[in-house]
Amino acid sequence: MSSTDEHSELWIRNFHPAPRHPHRLVLLPHAGGSASFFFPFSRELSAHTDVSAVQYPGRQERRAEPLLDSVDALVDQIHRALLPLADKPLVLFGHSMGAVLSFELARRIEAEGRIPFLGLIASGRRSPLVHREENVHTRGDEALIAEIRALSGTDAGVLADDELLRMVLPAIRSDYKAIETYRYRPEGPGPALGCPVSVLTGESDPRVSLDEAMAWKDLTRGKFAFRSFPGGHFYLTPQRDAVVRAIVEDLTTFFRLPVS
């Protein structure tokens, strides 16, 4: 096994292998999130496409590994992990921080041309064109805990267990630093994407307004689609069935892929 393959195994989880499908959907989780957040989505989507999820360092079985606290560093490592998956064309789906990582990955992939790439689905995140000063990562533990409670994305069992919560805080803080210090650079690998971009958001997301979500349209020369769902920042958990249907619709009609 090559070092690149070993790197891919470290970063990529394939919970429900579906090698018969001729394309792959890669899921990138939110700040503080893990690949297992997408396990139920993978179970349902694997009937339609080969699904992989990204596992960032510093959580679950990667808890002992050094954290990466910048978008650039994360994108570098994820891009390297995706190279062995270039046997099939990819669609990227990212939620919250994962949406920004997916966007920067898409820019890198399109610029380098080493991975066949079909498009991006960005969820629960304002456009990278919209900058807002945020500094949650610089605050104390209690302020950070208050933030993740307010967004309702962390498992209730973790929030109720103080010892477990303190254990995962370093990874959450590192992710918050990565996304809060991120700045869109127009000169980057390419100022805009050539691929289609689909945006999903929660109607009552306190972190993403309608205009901020629609601003993704200015980052692609390709087709653009937008959908909103009832719920807040983590709308996709209670709306999982509707989100799965939306993703399948994107794959079939937006990206024009053959699916089951």
| pLDDT-based confidence at residue 161 (cuts at 50, 70, 90) | low
Rounded average pLDDT over 223-238: 95
What is the rounded distance in angstroms from the CA atom of residue 217 to the CA atom of residue 199?
9
What is the rounded distance in angstroms from the CA atom of residue 253 to the CA atom of residue 260?
13
| pLDDT-based confidence at residue 153 (cuts at 50, 70, 90) | low
Q: How many Cα atoms occupy the beta-carbon half-sphere of 233 within 13 Å?
A: 20
pLDDT at 1 over 70: no
Express each pLDDT in 189-230 by its tens digit.
Answer: 777 899 999 999 999 999 999 999 999 999 999 999 999 999
pLDDT at 132 over 70: yes
What is the rounded distance in angstroms from the CA atom of residue 234 to the CA atom of residue 257?
27
Query: pTM of the full predicted structure?
Result: 0.94
Residue 191 pLDDT: 74
pLDDT at 157 over 60: no
Residue 158 pLDDT: 52
Express each pLDDT in 76-125 by its tens digit.
Answer: 999 999 999 999 999 999 999 999 999 999 999 999 999 999 999 999 99
- What are the boundaries of each domain within the chain? 3-130+186-254
Residue with tokens 């699916």: 259
Residue with tokens 């619709």: 249
Residue 150 pLDDT: 78
Residue 231 pLDDT: 94
* CATH classification (class only), 3-130+186-254: alpha beta
Annotated catalytic residue 96: yes
Q: Judging by DSSP bridges, how do beta strands 117-123 and 197-202 pair with one another?
A: parallel
258 CB-near residues (< 8 Å, 6+ apart): 22, 252
114 CB-near residues (< 8 Å, 6+ apart): 83, 86
Residue 217 pLDDT: 97
pLDDT at 234 over 80: yes
Rounded average pLDDT over 238-257: 94
Residue with tokens 């959907």: 25
Express each pLDDT in 45-69 by its tens digit.
Answer: 999 999 999 999 998 999 999 999 9
| pLDDT-based confidence at residue 152 (cuts at 50, 70, 90) | low
What is the rounded distance in angstroms from the CA atom of residue 104 to the CA atom of residue 92?
11
Q: Which of 96, 102, 123, 174 is the catalytic position?
A: 96
- Structural contact between residues 25 and 252, judged by C-beta atoms closer than 8 angstroms: no
Express each pLDDT in 3-26 by its tens digit.
Answer: 778 999 999 999 999 999 999 999
Q: In what order do the strands lie in the sheet with 90-95?
A: 12-13, 50-54, 24-28, 90-95, 117-123, 197-202, 224-229
